[in-house]
Structure 1
Amino acid sequence: MEKSAKAVTPAPPPVPLNVPVADSHTHIDMQDAGVEETLAAAAEVGVTTLIQVGCDLERSRWSARAAAEHDAVWAAVALHPNEAPRLALGEGGWKALDAALEGIAELAARPEVLGVGETGLDHYRTGPEGREAQQYSFRRHIELAKRLDKALVIHDREAHEDVLRILEEEGAPERTVFHCFSGDAAMAEVCAAKGWFMSFAGNVTFKNARPLRDALAAAPPELLLVETDAPFLTPAPYRGRPNAPYLIPYTLRVMAEVKGMTEDALAEHIAANTARAFGYPR
């Protein structure tokens, strides 16, 4: 009972940041708290801007509405890599996938929507039978981001080589963000050479995350973002409890240690980088 109670107890708020930053990737629609409560708790600790990310058509519509209604929220819209094969291999077939992609394109054109994502490839949850649909959807999202001059937000899970190949084949948008960066130091160097942003989440704080911290060490400060991916990936020492944007400072402080930077210096970079990546004024 004690373990169960701890698992659902919210983590305590961290010491506030001196330099306000953005949570570059969160899912408020999947969290227990409402938008206003989430924003208030985040602002208390210096997290003053949220990028709310949709993973299917309905959640993307929700994201766009939330961004339109709240000055501190911007939206990214897309079909998640696991949503694409679900549609294409389902009852509606490829027509359903194309219809959903058209809906995403309409949302992406709205001014409060600054990102196309999260899109990309996921070889962890989707097997070979779904990869054609994933790659087709990824290519459509890349084209959309370039056409509308929006940031491309990439989900890359156990698919590094194919993600890099498709970006090369299609030509990456000017502003490309690897959400919840999961590559190694060599991949971080590839992304840095291309000028692609790398966003690190709470898993960089985990004890078994040495390869991820090595990647962070290799990434230049000018291309770093921080995110929660809430309600997932709650940072240590509160792993297993619900994640939320107010917990960003825990992750940022570990990042600063890995980079050998002061907390304030890294926060300045992250604040500027996130605004530059998504194209909003600081």
Structure 2
Amino acid sequence: MTLTEGWPEPPAPLPRPVVDNHCHLDTRIRGGALIPVDEALDRAAAVGVTRTVQVGCDLEGSRWAVEVARAQPSVVAAVAMHPNDAARSQTLEADLAEIDRLAADPVVRAVGETGLDYFRTGADLRPLQHHSFREHIRIAKRHDRTLVIHDRDAHDDVLAILDDEGVPDRVVMHCFSGDADFAQRCVERGAYLSFAGTVTFKNAEYLREALRIAPRDRILVETDAPFLTPMPHRGEPNASFLIPHTVRFMAEVLEAPVEELCEAIDANTDRAFGGHWPERVATVT
């Protein structure tokens, strides 16, 4: 099978399997081609990324995530209105009701990505994000789902709303973007810290400091594919099969054996998302 044109070459396989706990298999960037779902999952499994969380950011994407998770045993779904989509929606209450309905499906393990994004949404629309975030927290609790938080330039308000609503049993800080102090504040609330390809960027020493102080049983890894591609492929499209670059870099930062870090990430992801689900066996040649 020839890799879809325009995508980076796959790295060497990891010594133990890990989970990509946040990706968008339905999203294309800069007009690029999508890798077909079966090929994307096979390519990932071939390098040791054997399970996936497909994340919806609006109603269409959330419904698609559920459909894919029903068809692909190695995939579970997360459903939500992304904070920027929530702020722009003209039918937010109906949207939230549909997310509530979708969250009841057994293939849905998480509600998210929800949260706050002060980078793309101005102060006038932030109250809508706050309302949506609160409702997603309540949906996650109602259905006993993991809460997956998108936090961009809004650290203090994210924690304030969490504290006000009451922290769910399982919380994942998607694409963790804070420093060591914020990491400690999140861990104190029981959150898992999910590191994306950004941790490999030259200007991201603050993320590496956060990684170093994170308890080993609270560390996850993700792609946020097709975004946030790790070095050495920054600027190219991202996919789950590139996670080995991030994991190996994280192991260097932690001065830990790659095998041990893989085992920790895999076990942590099971706890973070409410239990194990089947792994994919790669069929690519």
Letter of the structure 2 residue corresponding to residue 217 of structure 1: R
Q: Helix, strand or coil: the match of 1:195?
A: coil
Partner residue of 2:248 out of 215, 236, 253 = 253
Q: Is the 8 A contact 2:77 2:109 kept in 1?
A: yes
Q: Helix, strand or coil: the match of 1:208?
A: coil
Which structure is higher in RCO with an 8 Å CA cutoff and minimum separation 6?
A: 2
Aligned partner of 1:264 in structure 2 is 259
Give the number of aligned pairs: 268
State the 1:83 CA deviation: 0.6
Partner residue of 2:71 out of 60, 69, 72 = 69
> How far, CA to CA, are the matches of 1:191 and 1:220 in structure 2?
11
Partner residue of 1:30 out of 27, 49, 71 = 27
Partner residue of 1:192 out of 187, 190, 193 = 187
Q: TM-score if structure 2 supplies the norm length?
A: 0.93
> How far, CA to CA, are the matches of 1:280 and 1:196 in structure 2?
16
1:113-158 Cα offsets, whole Å, 9 max, x none, are 0000000000000000110000000000000101111000000000
State the 1:167 CA deviation: 0.4
> How far, CA to CA, are the matches of 1:38 and 1:107 in structure 2?
24
Q: Helix, strand or coil: the match of 1:29?
A: coil
Q: Helix, strand or coil: the match of 1:30?
A: coil
Aligned partner of 2:31 in structure 1 is none
State the 1:190 CA deviation: 1.1
Structure 1 or 2: more helix by fraction: 1
Aligned partner of 1:210 in structure 2 is 205
Aligned partner of 2:15 in structure 1 is 18
Unmatched segments (≥5 aa) in structure 1: 1-7
Q: TM-score if structure 1 supplies the norm length?
A: 0.94
Residues 99-138 of structure 1: matches in 2 within 5 Å? Answer: 99-138=94-133
State the 1:195 CA deviation: 1.8
Aligned partner of 1:159 in structure 2 is 154
Aligned partner of 2:282 in structure 1 is none
Q: Helix, strand or coil: the match of 2:26?
A: helix
> How far, CA to CA, are the matches of 1:138 and 1:203 in structure 2?
24
> How far, CA to CA, are the matches of 1:9 and 1:28 in structure 2?
16
Residues 237-248 of structure 1: matches in 2 within 5 Å? Answer: 237-248=232-243
Unmatched segments (≥5 aa) in structure 2: 29-33, 278-285
Q: Give identity over the alignment, percent.
A: 56
> How far, CA to CA, are the matches of 1:14 and 1:111 in structure 2?
33
State the 1:9 CA deviation: 3.0
- What value does the CA root-mean-square deviation take over the aligned residues? 0.9
State the 1:280 CA deviation: 2.8
> How far, CA to CA, are the matches of 2:85 and 2:233 in structure 1?
29
1:102-122 Cα offsets, whole Å, 9 max, x none, are 000110000000000000000
> How far, CA to CA, are the matches of 2:187 and 2:167 in structure 1?
13
2:214 matches 1:219: yes
Letter of the structure 2 residue corresponding to residue 105 of structure 1: D
> How far, CA to CA, are the matches of 1:250 and 1:129 in structure 2?
40
